[in-house]
Amino acid sequence: MKKNSATPWSYRKGSSFLHRMPAGFKLAFLLLLSLAAFLPGSETRGFIVLSGIVLVLILLSCAAGIGPRQLLRGSGPLFLVVFAVFLFQGVEFSPPGFNPDGTKETIIFCFRLAAAFAAGSLLFSVTTSMEIKKSLSRAESFLHLEKFKPGLGISMMLAFLPRFFEIWEEINLAWKSRGGRNNLSLLTVLIPLVIERMMVKAAETATALESRGALLDPLYRKHA
């Protein structure tokens, strides 16, 4: 299996209209979709909005040549955490038992989370990090914000999202090769390792930027 088809939130080569669309437009549109999934309102309104978002994501993923189910690849641990939190909140000690209140809200929240996750997955499936960086640089120039370099910071932050899944897939593969199972122990063991790897990667990136004089804080550059 190719890496692009196995790693969540990784770029998939293609020539669809989504691949050719300006990165800035895709970033803004899919970000708005993610935010819309969490808009407050009545249950009926929320259901209609969420259904519309899911339908749009399905159509866009098919247009890009990506199966809709593939957009949720890698989301399992995230929903496992939500489920664990729900169980923890529902446990009652006096008297011992379980309070199912909040089940409906948890299910709705999971659907909202799935929509936001799928939107992010679709963005990185049809857009490279370099395309996002170039688009943000153009917006930076248009707004005359070159001095503060917000585009560099945002592009770096976004680039770390697919990198997280790359590291997770590597560690998860090692876990399964040693007989590990997909349960809560997976989270307790793997999450600290992933966080450690991400912190090391962030430190290495910061060191590389400093050595090239690409510090994000202009005040630091002024007084250094």
CA distance 8 to 168: 10
Mark whether 55 and 159 lie in a shared domain: no
Mark whether 198 and 121 lie in a shared domain: no
Mark whether 88 and 9 lie in a shared domain: yes
Cβ contacts of 137-145, under 8 Å, gap ≥ 24: 138/24, 139/24
Structure tokens at 75: 């989301």
- DSSP, res 143: T
Mark whether 53 and 153 lie in a shared domain: no
- For 175, phi then psi, to 5°, come to -65, -45
Mark whether 88 and 176 lie in a shared domain: no
User: What's the pLDDT score for residue 214?
Assistant: 52
Taking the chain (224 residues) in runs of 10, the rounded mean pLDDT of each run is 62 92 93 91 87 95 91 86 81 76 84 93 92 87 76 79 84 85 78 87 78 53 42
User: What's the pLDDT score for residue 1?
Assistant: 43
Confirm whether 196 is domain-assigned.
Answer: yes
User: What's the pLDDT score for residue 40?
Assistant: 85
User: What's the pLDDT score for residue 218?
Assistant: 47
User: What's the pLDDT score for residue 219?
Assistant: 40
DSSP assignments along 35-99, one per residue: HHTT----HHHHHHHHHHHHHHHHHHHHHTT--GGGGGTT-HHHHHHHHHHHHHHHEEETTEEE-
Confirm whether 135 is domain-assigned.
Answer: no
Mark whether 32 and 122 lie in a shared domain: yes
3-class DSSP state for residue 16? coil
CA distance 62 to 158: 24
Domain encompassing residue 25: 1-127
Mark whether 20 and 110 lie in a shared domain: yes
The sign one gets for the Cα dihedral 54, 56, 57, 59 is positive
Mark whether 113 and 42 lie in a shared domain: yes
User: What's the pLDDT score for residue 6?
Assistant: 57
Q: Structure pTM? A: 0.78
Mark whether 19 and 111 lie in a shared domain: yes
Mark whether 100 and 206 lie in a shared domain: no
Confirm whether 86 is domain-assigned.
Answer: yes
Residue (of 18, 19, 28, 17) closest to 139 by Cα position: 28
DSSP assignments along 104-118, one per residue: HHHHHHHHHHHHHHH
Confirm whether 113 is domain-assigned.
Answer: yes
Mark whether 41 and 78 lie in a shared domain: yes
CA distance 224 to 217: 11
Confirm whether 140 is domain-assigned.
Answer: no
Confirm whether 138 is domain-assigned.
Answer: no
